[in-house]
Structure 1
Amino acid sequence: MDETTNTKLTSRLNKINLNLLLVFHTLYRKRSLTLTAESLCLSQPAVSHSLKKLRLLLGDPLFIKSVDGMQPTPFARQMDIAVGKGLFYFDQAIHSNSEFSPTTSKREFRVSLVDYVSQQLQPKLIQHCLTHAPGLCFNMLSTRIASAEGAQQVLQQHDIDLAMVQLETLPLTSHHEYLFDDEIGCVGDATRHGHKSHITLETFLNTPQIALSHREDSPSLINERLKKLGLERKIVAKTPYINPLQEILVSTNLLCVVTRSAADAICRNNALKFYALPLDVPTFKVCLCWDERKDHDPGIRWLRKLIRELI
């Protein structure tokens, strides 16, 4: 930044301190002077004074009182996007090099997992932390990420610290970590479909199926392969949840395309079996993705390492 630009920037920002921006950002989310004051441990008159000062400085009312609370003006909506990013980067700049001690930290991590991974990983993660990081809290979320390209937008929109996702190809960015390949097959009742390791294409096409997808788009990978061959399967239901599949598939002729890791959770203490597909389908790449803005966060680096060890 050249000296002239720096002088102009200093002159403009010298009138607005960080506390005013915090009040603005909090009020934008709370839509209430009272709740904003409580959140920032301020008095309501102090919040009102800050808002009045901002209105004078910016030449805009910013918030209009209504029956639904303090509603932001168009200018305030536009401004909050930049203010939110600025406050985030300011916080990261201050704390990115701070140490993280799992034994004493009281941090809450927001983690997104597909449910079959959550069934296997979550008990190990919590049991480990009860002993080695008793002050931590994990907020497990079911955020659906469809592609590597859209991962950053979803992570930032939902304030996700770390997400485990299954992707068709590895992301091109550095803000991911490859864990393992997960073979794609299908699950069905062995008393109906036999005990061979695979099923025929005729059986696959003619058998009604439950489509499992943990992503925002429909389960398109198999459909695209079939479409290229001029074929189509019969789907009777779509779901992102594996838990009901154990009861749905047992004692029926239904099939469900899943990964081998998901099958390990589904085919447990029942007659269900994992079959190889009669199609050439690439494996899913299971990866950890994190917010690119938190690339140097020591807590997230610790959590990534722990999950690798537990997996």
Structure 2
Amino acid sequence: MDYNDLPEKRIKPLREDDNPQIFRTLRNIDLNLLTIFEAVYVHKGIVNAAKILNLTPSAISQSIQKLRAIFPDPLFIRKGQGVTPTAYASHLHEYISQGMESILGALDLTGSYDKQRTITIATSSSVGALVMPTIYKAVRDEFPQLLLRNIPVTDAINKLSQFQADLVIDSYVITARALAHHVLYTDKLVLVCRKGHPALAQPLNADTLRQYEHTLLMVDGQSHSDLRKRIFELFPDRQVSFSSYNLFTIAALLADSDLIGLMPARIHALFASCWPLCTLDYPPLNEELIDFSLHYNKLSLRDPVLQNVIKVIRQAF
């Protein structure tokens, strides 16, 4: 009997509504039996497989009998001192071996760099636009098999503590004991307005700035409380008429109004290539610096791949 087409019917793309049945089917299969099947297939004998798996030949034989009860085929036929697989077993081997390789690749137990793997990096949209091109080039040059995924940075402590992100890059230091950080670069804050703004033709002082309305970047939590306090001391009477969580939105509005806003200098340089923006030289702001740091869970250093990705990113900056 020809079994060549049978696995084609068993192995097909899974639909969401198939999942309960798939789970019930797998629940009735001891997946260790598939490991034994592969060992017998690759080493062409029960005795050889028993040595590789550190089991008795009797245990291997019992496992093959269980597999024969699951699949409609004898799977292996005795030939001389060993066994030869049936056509059905050869076809089954193709799927099982691929599945095992995929599982081992996902687990990456050896930290192999030739395995495709996704590294998840959380940033804000503006910080991502600034740092991800440099990170992408540095990581891909060293580890071309790694894939990068950029997600929004929200509740950074939980994201790292629960391993929902491998790395977080943001402008504040997370103080949780389980987390570590390295400063990638330090930037200064600048006042930004549109080109042709009337403030550019006036002496820039506190009285001038009070004449215009300002934008405000909203950030989560208390992470920037010290920075907010210092900015309030620098601009105690500023009138905020627009606030947003997104610096891209703020930049677009600054370019099309007489609003004035604050942002890091490198992000302004990036936005200035997209919108007609320029900076206002305000000396009291010159000493205000902000660190952008790479954060990660300390337990991640047990992963040699991630450890070296962190090293490459730090070197890139």
For residue 300 of structure 2, what is the aligned residue in structure 1? 294
Shift of 1:152: 3.5
Per-residue CA deviation, residues 170-214 of structure 1 (Å, 9 max, x unaligned), is 858571112222212221113115558x94222333422221245
Kindly tell me: are residues 116 and 158 of structure 1, through their superposed partners in 2, closer, same or farther at Cα, counting changes over 3 Å?
same
Q: Kindly indicate whether residue 235 of structure 2 is the aligned counterpart of residue 225 of structure 1.
A: no
For residue 279 of structure 2, what is the aligned residue in structure 1? 274
- Conserved 8 A contact 2:272-2:278: yes
Kindly tell me: are residues 256 and 217 of structure 1, through their superposed partners in 2, closer, same or farther at Cα, counting changes over 3 Å?
farther
Shift of 1:153: 3.0
Kindly tell me: are residues 34 and 238 of structure 1, through their superposed partners in 2, closer, same or farther at Cα, counting changes over 3 Å?
same
For residue 310 of structure 1, what is the aligned residue in structure 2? 316
Aligned partner of 1:166 among 171, 177, 187: 171
Taking structure 1 as the reference length, what is the TM-score of the superposition?
0.58
Kindly tell me: are residues 184 and 37 of structure 1, through their superposed partners in 2, closer, same or farther at Cα, counting changes over 3 Å?
farther
Match of 1:99, as an amino acid?
Answer: G
For residue 23 of structure 1, what is the aligned residue in structure 2? none
Which whole-Å CA distance do the structure 2 matches of 1:228 and 1:126 have between them? 38
Q: Does the residue aligned with 2:248 lie in a helix, a strand or coil? A: coil
- Conserved 8 A contact 2:139-2:309: no
Per-residue CA deviation, residues 65-97 of structure 1 (Å, 9 max, x unaligned), is xxxxxxxxxxxxxxxxxxxxxxxxxxxxxx898
Aligned residues: CA RMSD: 3.9
Match of 2:196, as an amino acid?
Answer: T
Q: Does the residue aligned with 1:191 lie in a helix, a strand or coil? A: coil
Shift of 1:105: 2.5
Kindly tell me: are residues 267 and 283 of structure 1, through their superposed partners in 2, closer, same or farther at Cα, counting changes over 3 Å?
same
Q: How many residues align?
A: 224
- Conserved 8 A contact 1:107-1:136: yes
Aligned partner of 1:107 among 102, 117, 127: 117
Which whole-Å CA distance do the structure 1 matches of 2:20 and 2:135 have between them? 35
Deviating above 6 A after TM superposition, structure 1's stretches of 4 or more consecutive aligned residues are: none
- Conserved 8 A contact 1:184-1:260: yes
For residue 141 of structure 1, what is the aligned residue in structure 2? 151
Which whole-Å CA distance do the structure 1 matches of 2:262 and 2:125 have between them? 15
Which whole-Å CA distance do the structure 1 matches of 2:288 and 2:234 have between them? 16
Match of 1:301, as an amino acid?
Answer: Q
Give the number of the structure whose alpha-carbon radius of gyration is greater: 2
For residue 22 of structure 1, what is the aligned residue in structure 2? none
Q: How does 1:100-249 map to 2 (within 5 A)?
A: 100-101=112-113, 104-128=114-138, 132-144=142-154, 151-157=156-162, 159-167=164-172, 171=175, 175-193=180-198, 199-216=204-221, 220-221=225-226, 223-225=228-230, 231-249=236-254
For residue 43 of structure 1, what is the aligned residue in structure 2? 26
Kindly tell me: are residues 222 and 203 of structure 1, through their superposed partners in 2, closer, same or farther at Cα, counting changes over 3 Å?
farther
Q: Does the residue aligned with 2:315 lie in a helix, a strand or coil? A: helix
Kindly tell me: are residues 249 and 138 of structure 1, through their superposed partners in 2, closer, same or farther at Cα, counting changes over 3 Å?
same
Which whole-Å CA distance do the structure 2 matches of 1:233 and 1:252 have between them? 16
- Conserved 8 A contact 2:215-2:241: yes
Kindly tell me: are residues 260 and 227 of structure 1, through their superposed partners in 2, closer, same or farther at Cα, counting changes over 3 Å?
closer
Q: Does the residue aligned with 1:99 lie in a helix, a strand or coil? A: coil
Q: Does the residue aligned with 1:43 lie in a helix, a strand or coil? A: helix
- Conserved 8 A contact 2:130-2:267: no
Taking structure 2 as the reference length, what is the TM-score of the superposition?
0.57
Q: Which runs of 5+ in 1 are unaligned?
A: 1-31, 48-94, 146-150
Shift of 1:256: 1.5
For residue 257 of structure 1, what is the aligned residue in structure 2? 262
Shift of 1:244: 3.0
Kindly tell me: are residues 233 and 305 of structure 1, through their superposed partners in 2, closer, same or farther at Cα, counting changes over 3 Å?
same
Shift of 1:233: 2.2
Per-residue CA deviation, residues 224-245 of structure 1 (Å, 9 max, x unaligned), is 2365589232222222323333
Q: Which runs of 5+ in 2 are unaligned?
A: 1-15, 31-106
